Structure formats: C-alpha cells, structure tokens
C-alpha cells in the first residue's frame, strides 16, 4: 500500500502553473508569502475544528510556522503544525481547482504576459507559486486526528503530473520542501529569507520561526521568532504603515493585488470589538457564484474562530474582506452560538455602517476610486436596498446610474445628482428598465422626456428590476417607471402645453374609439398619449404589471 501513484493535473492547473511561472517571475519573492499564508490558514482551520474536538491538538496546541533551508541540498522547507490533509484533500486541494467558472476564466487568457499576470492576480496565486523558484516540490502532510501511518507525500516538477504515496509521518500538519531551480540560490540565505518574511508576512498573527545561528553563522537546533507575530488589527492605527495594511490584506483576501480602500476601527463601550475591513480593487471572477464564501474572519481576543462568517456581513457586501475581533464572545464559542447571537448582530450592524461610511467617503473624496469600486461591485450593491431595509437610504445614496443626461453607458449619475437637476414642478425620479443600455436609450417612452428636458435614469443590469421593486423613494421623491401607469407631466412645463394637449385629446376621440374596437380584448385601454413625440404609438403597462422585457424573458424561458 506504500506504492507511488502518478496522477495528472486538471487541465486548468496545468495552465495556471505555466502562467504562474512565466508571468510572475519578476515577483518571485511572493512564493514564500503564499506558502506561509497557507500554513497560517491551516493553523486557523485546526483551531476552528478543535472548537468542537479539542483532541485534534494532540497535546500540541502551540501553533507555529517554521522556515528552514539547507544550503547543500539546495532546499527551502516550510512547516506548520496546522490541520494537515488526508489523501483525498491533497488530491482535491493541490491537484484541482474546484471553483466554479474556472474553465471559462481560463478561456479568457490572452497569452500576453502582463495582461494575464493581472488575471492571475484575480484568480489568486497560492500554492503553485512555489514553482516560480522550484523545479520540484515535495509536500508531506498528516491530518490532525489521524495516526502516523496516514501521512501523504505529494511531489511534482510542476509540468503535467504529480505523484502521491502514503508515508509514515508522525508530525501533525504540513511540510513543503522546495528544491530550488538553478540560479535561485539567493534564497539559501538566512538574511534574505528573514527579509522576505518581514516584508510580506510580518503581520501573520502566528509565530514564524527560523533557526538561531551560532557565532560561525551555522544553524543550531534552537528556533526564534522572526515576525512580529501580533495581530495587526489590534495595533493602533497610527502605528501601522500603508504597506503593512496592504500585506495583511493580501493574506486575508487571498488576493494578489492591493486593496482599494479599508476601514479600521476599535469599538468600545458596552460591547468591544475591532474591525479591519477592506474593499478589494477587483471583483473575483466568481462574484456571482452563490456559494462563494464570505470574506470576513471572526476572531475572539486575537484567537481565530472562523472563516467566511456569513453572519458578519450581508450578502450584498460579500466582497468585503477582513477581520472582526470580539472581546465579548466566549473563546469556546460554538457554531450554534454564532447562528443567533445578539453580539454578532450588533457587530454586523456596526461593521455595515463602517463599510457604507467608507464608501461614502470614497464617493466624496476619491471619485476615481469610487468609479473603480462601482464598476467592479455596483451590481452587487444594487442587491442592497432589497436586503438591508434599515440602510436603504444610505445605500441608495451610493447607487450610480446611466442616464439620458450623459451619452454613455457608464454608470456615474447619483440620485443626488438627479434631484439637483430636477425641473421646477417635477416631483418624481423617472427611470426606465430594459435589456440593454441601448434598448433603454432608444425606447420610445423617452421621447416626451427628451422633449421636455426631463432626465430619465437608464437601467439595464439584470439586478435593476429587483432593485426598483425595493426602492420606492429617495429623499422624499418617489420613483416612477416611464413605461408604467399614467404619466402626468402636465405640471412640468407651461399651461399652454396643457391646453394644447386637451385639444388634441378631443380631436382624437373618434380615432381612439375605432382602435379600441379593432383591438378588442387584446388591450385594456387605448389612450391619447403625450409621452411620444416621434413614434405614433407605444404599449404601456399598468403600474403593477411586470416590466415588458421581463415578460418577454419569461415567455422565452417557456413560462
């Protein structure tokens, strides 16, 4: 049963490996950051599982990460005493990419290095970055709770396949050995490795240890901590540099790029907690995957409790990354407690306020950044008013739309902008929903608005119909679809216009009757409309009817 098995990487893994090695070489130091980040995650996972089964610690609850090197063998070794992996987990986690949409994502790669390097960032570089500097990687691991003979050894040269064998491995957790490529000897150096760790991994809240060295600069059997090993978020804001904030983000968010913005707060009073929350600069490619884990980690007094705590952020803020650290929850908090807990609810409400405040600040003071934010996450924010009733007005303020005011599909108009431009006598915020920006822009419903110079918001995202069914008013102004109900625009404009309209209605009476009898039951009503200026007629829906294109969509789907 100790035989060695050879397995093929999933096609996408092969592509990822190839790309990684070729496009990230100028950034090669990051391999260590990624492997340390994984080691740290593995320790977090052990802590979480040990909440319900403390025996998993196997009398060794001092979690730590070690980095070592062997000049003669030309290897670097990263070891953790975290959760480890069993055989299936190794195959799942190291041989495959399980995220849905992966294939589609890879089909977008252009072969152009700089472009693809960005995409790779979006994907997350992770474990495979080891192959930037190594031509062979050996990972040996034993899962917490299993016996020594259940160790697993994985090895690959990063081309197309890997081997797997069952081995005796008494130590719990994972050891990764990098056999360095020719020419990468700079990393076989104590000072160099410490420098990389301090640059990229100083913020890891666990101790990262390296061997102490004697007077002759030879390694000894004693270990010393080389990072700060303190929780970054627990330090005062003014003692944390921008670079430290960014490095920490890359670890918690598994992101390769810098964050767009962050908010760091210590809340005191009857409830105490610290939150450090980040807005990424790029949406992950699977942002709309319902199973995508939430990105906020829960800590209790610096001790990791759980990842992706759904209870800590509403769905429409699922792109937020970071940590919330409570001083009030018990350390032995259970999953059940997390499900319904007043303290959690309060932390969530407070954190949502902080995020909305951060976004408001960006919109006001850093419009370029806000534009980036809106392009990446706007469609998710539009889920907000339907999900978060309490913050509806504040979310509405953050919304951006295309409108008849500018000749562009870009969503840049805020509701405040709109209200400031309203015509004298105008009481409503007019909008139209359609399948595409162009369909909205060319709708005949807009003719009269154009003629009168009244601005109309042009909505064409899939989520817009849902948004508008939850947004009724903003700053006391009701929303009105230009395709629904009776539009009374008579107050906007002159009295002469009104008289003119009445005259036309009188003259057309006979025609209306004839059309009505010709169409019979096909229509509910035929009316003289003042909403058109160029087209002869259009179909109008009752206030409560579904928008026309939604009906068409449902019909096409066979309803």
Query: Which are the contacts of 69, defined by CB distance < 8 A and separation ≥ 6?
Result: 75, 76, 77, 187, 188, 189, 190, 193
Handedness of CA 458, 463, 468, 473 (dihedral sign): negative
Please identify, among the stretches 113-121, 124-132, 371-379, 480-488, the one whose residues bind ligand ADP according to the rule CB under 6 A. 124-132
Kindly state the smallest distance separating residue 80's Cβ from Mg ion, in Å. Answer: 12
Contact 263, 318 (CB under 8 A): no
SS3 361: helix
Contact 229, 208 (CB under 8 A): yes
Residue in 31, 46, 47, 126 binding ligand ADP, rule: CB under 6 A? 126
Q: What's the gap between Cα 296 and its chain centre?
A: 10
Kindly state the smallest distance separating residue 142's Cβ from ligand ADP, in Å. Answer: 10
Neighbours of 60 (CB within 10 A): 12
184 binds, among ligand ADP, Mg ion, none (CB under 5 to 8 A by kind): none
* The pairing of beta strand 457-459 with beta strand 428-433: parallel
The reply on whether position 341 binds ligand ADP by CB under 6 A is no
- Residues 33 to 62 in contact with Mg ion, rule: CB under 5 A: 37-38
Closer residue to Mg ion in complex, CB, 37/227: 37
Q: Given 3-state DSSP classes, what are the helix, strand and coil percentages for the chain, each rounded to the nearest 5?
A: 40, 20, 35
- Residues 244 to 283 in contact with ligand ADP, rule: CB under 6 A: 254
The reply on whether position 295 binds Mg ion by CB under 5 A is no
Please identify, among the stretches 81-89, 98-106, 434-442, 540-548, the one whose residues bind ligand ADP according to the rule CB under 6 A. 81-89
Contact 455, 404 (CB under 8 A): yes
In this structure, what token pair is assigned to residue 403? Answer: 């409108």
Cα separation, 482 vs 323, whole angstroms: 44
Cα separation, 445 vs 426, whole angstroms: 17
Any bridge partners for residue 6, and if so which? 163
Kindly state the smallest distance separating residue 46's Cβ from ligand ADP, in Å. Answer: 9
The reply on whether position 34 binds ligand ADP by CB under 6 A is yes
Radius of gyration of the chain (CA): 30
Residue at shortest CB range from ligand ADP: 126
Please identify, among the stretches 46-54, 123-131, 229-237, 399-407, the one whose residues bind ligand ADP according to the rule CB under 6 A. 123-131
Nearest alpha carbon to residue 350 among 463, 274, 443, 238: 274
H or E stretch at 214: none
Cα separation, 178 vs 144, whole angstroms: 23
Size of the site for Mg ion (CB under 5 A): 3
Kindly state the smallest distance separating residue 61's Cβ from Mg ion, in Å. Answer: 23
The reply on whether position 82 binds ligand ADP by CB under 6 A is yes
207 binds, among ligand ADP, Mg ion, none (CB under 5 to 8 A by kind): none
Any bridge partners for residue 303, and if so which? 300
Kindly state the smallest distance separating residue 83's Cβ from ligand ADP, in Å. Answer: 6
Cα separation, 188 vs 190, whole angstroms: 7
The reply on whether position 83 binds ligand ADP by CB under 6 A is yes
Residue in 13, 19, 39, 415 binding ligand ADP, rule: CB under 6 A? 39
Residue in 32, 63, 67, 85 binding ligand ADP, rule: CB under 6 A? 85
SS3 325: strand
H or E stretch at 420: helix 415-420
The reply on whether position 297 binds ligand ADP by CB under 6 A is no
Please identify, among the stretches 122-130, 169-177, 259-267, 388-396, the one whose residues bind Mg ion according to the rule CB under 5 A. 122-130
42 binds, among Mg ion, ligand ADP, none (CB under 5 to 8 A by kind): ligand ADP
- Residues 135 to 174 in contact with ligand ADP, rule: CB under 6 A: 174
Beta-strand ranges (E) seen in 173-302 are 173-180, 208-213, 219-225, 259-267, 273-280, 295-300
Kindly state the smallest distance separating residue 41's Cβ from ligand ADP, in Å. Answer: 6
531 binds, among Mg ion, ligand ADP, none (CB under 5 to 8 A by kind): none
The reply on whether position 433 binds ligand ADP by CB under 6 A is no
In this structure, what token pair is assigned to residue 263? Answer: 């908010």
Closer residue to Mg ion in complex, CB, 179/254: 254
The reply on whether position 127 binds ligand ADP by CB under 6 A is yes
82 binds, among ligand ADP, Mg ion, none (CB under 5 to 8 A by kind): ligand ADP
Closer residue to ligand ADP in complex, CB, 126/384: 126
Contact 397, 473 (CB under 8 A): no
Any bridge partners for residue 324, and if so which? 275, 298
341 binds, among ligand ADP, Mg ion, none (CB under 5 to 8 A by kind): none
The reply on whether position 42 binds ligand ADP by CB under 6 A is yes
The reply on whether position 126 binds Mg ion by CB under 5 A is yes
Cα separation, 482 vs 494, whole angstroms: 20
The reply on whether position 280 binds Mg ion by CB under 5 A is no
93 binds, among ligand ADP, Mg ion, none (CB under 5 to 8 A by kind): ligand ADP
**Binding site residues, ligand ADP, CB under 6 A:** 34, 38-39, 41-42, 80, 82-85, 93-94, 124, 126-127, 174, 254
**Binding site residues, Mg ion, CB under 5 A:** 37-38, 126
């Amino acid at each position: 049963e100790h035989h060695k098995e050879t397995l093929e990487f999933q096609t996408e893994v092969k592509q990822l490996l190839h790309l990684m090695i070729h496009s990230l070489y100028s950034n090669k130091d990051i391999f260590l950051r990624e492997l340390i980040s994984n080691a740290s995650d593995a320790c977090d996972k052990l802590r979480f599982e040990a909440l319900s089964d403390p025996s998993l610690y196997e009398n060794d609850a001092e979690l730590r990460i070690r980095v070592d090197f062997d000049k003669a063998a030309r290897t670097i070794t990263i070891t953790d005493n975290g959760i480890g992996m069993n055989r299936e987990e190794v195959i799942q986690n190291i041989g495959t990419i399980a995220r849905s949409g992966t294939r589609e994502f890879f089909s977008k790669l252009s072969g152009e290095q700089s472009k693809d390097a960005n995409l790779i960032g979006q994907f997350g570089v992770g474990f495979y970055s080891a192959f930037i500097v190594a031509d062979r990687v050996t990972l040996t691991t034993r899962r917490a709770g299993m016996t020594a003979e259940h160790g697993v050894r994985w090895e690959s040269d990063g081309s197309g396949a890997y081997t797997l064998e069952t081995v005796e491995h008494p130590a719990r957790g994972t050891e990764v050995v990098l056999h360095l490529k020719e020419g990468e000897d700079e990393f076989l150096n104590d000072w160099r490795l410490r420098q990389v760790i301090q640059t990229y991994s100083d913020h890891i809240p666990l101790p990262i240890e390296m061997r102490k060295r004697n007077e002759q600069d030879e390694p000894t059997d004693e270990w010393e901590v080389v990072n700060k090993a303190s929780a970054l978020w627990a330090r005062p804001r003014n003692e944390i540099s921008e670079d430290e904030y960014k490095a920490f983000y890359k670890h918690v968010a598994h992101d390769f790029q810098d964050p767009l913005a962050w908010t760091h707060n210590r809340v005191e009073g009857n409830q105490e907690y610290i939150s450090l929350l980040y807005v990424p600069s790029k949406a992950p490619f699977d942002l709309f995957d319902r199973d995508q884990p939430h990105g906020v980690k829960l800590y209790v007094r610096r001790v990791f409790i759980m990842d992706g705590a759904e209870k800590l952020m509403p769905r429409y803020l699922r792109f937020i990354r970071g940590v919330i650290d409570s001083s009030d929850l018990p350390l032995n908090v259970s999953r059940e407690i997390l499900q319904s807990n007043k303290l959690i609810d309060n932390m969530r409400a407070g954190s949502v306020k902080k995020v909305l405040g951060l976004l408001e600040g960006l919109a006001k003071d850093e419009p370029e950044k806000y534009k980036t934010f809106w392009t990446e996450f706007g469609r998710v924010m539009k889920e907000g008013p339907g999900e978060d009733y309490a913050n509806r007005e504040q979310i509405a303020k953050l919304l951006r739309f295309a409108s008849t005011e500018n000749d562009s599909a870009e969503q840049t108009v805020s509701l405040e902008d709109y209200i400031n431009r309203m015509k004298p006598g105008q009481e409503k915020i007019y909008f139209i929903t359609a399948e595409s920006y162009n369909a909205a822009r060319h709708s005949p419903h807009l003719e009269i608005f154009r003629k009168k110079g009244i601005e109309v918001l042009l909505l064409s995202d899939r989520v817009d119909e849902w948004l508008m069914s939850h947004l009724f008013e903003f700053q006391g102004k009701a929303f009105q679809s230009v395709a629904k109900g009776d539009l009374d625009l008579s107050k906007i404009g002159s009295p002469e216009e009104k008289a003119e309209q009445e005259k036309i209605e009188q003259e057309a009476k006979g025609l209306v009757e004839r059309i009505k009898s010709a169409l019979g039951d096909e229509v509910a009503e035929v009316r003289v409309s003042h909403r058109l200026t160029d087209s002869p007629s259009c179909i109008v829906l009752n206030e409560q009817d579904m928008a026309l294109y939604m009906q068409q969509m449902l019909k096409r789907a066979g309803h």
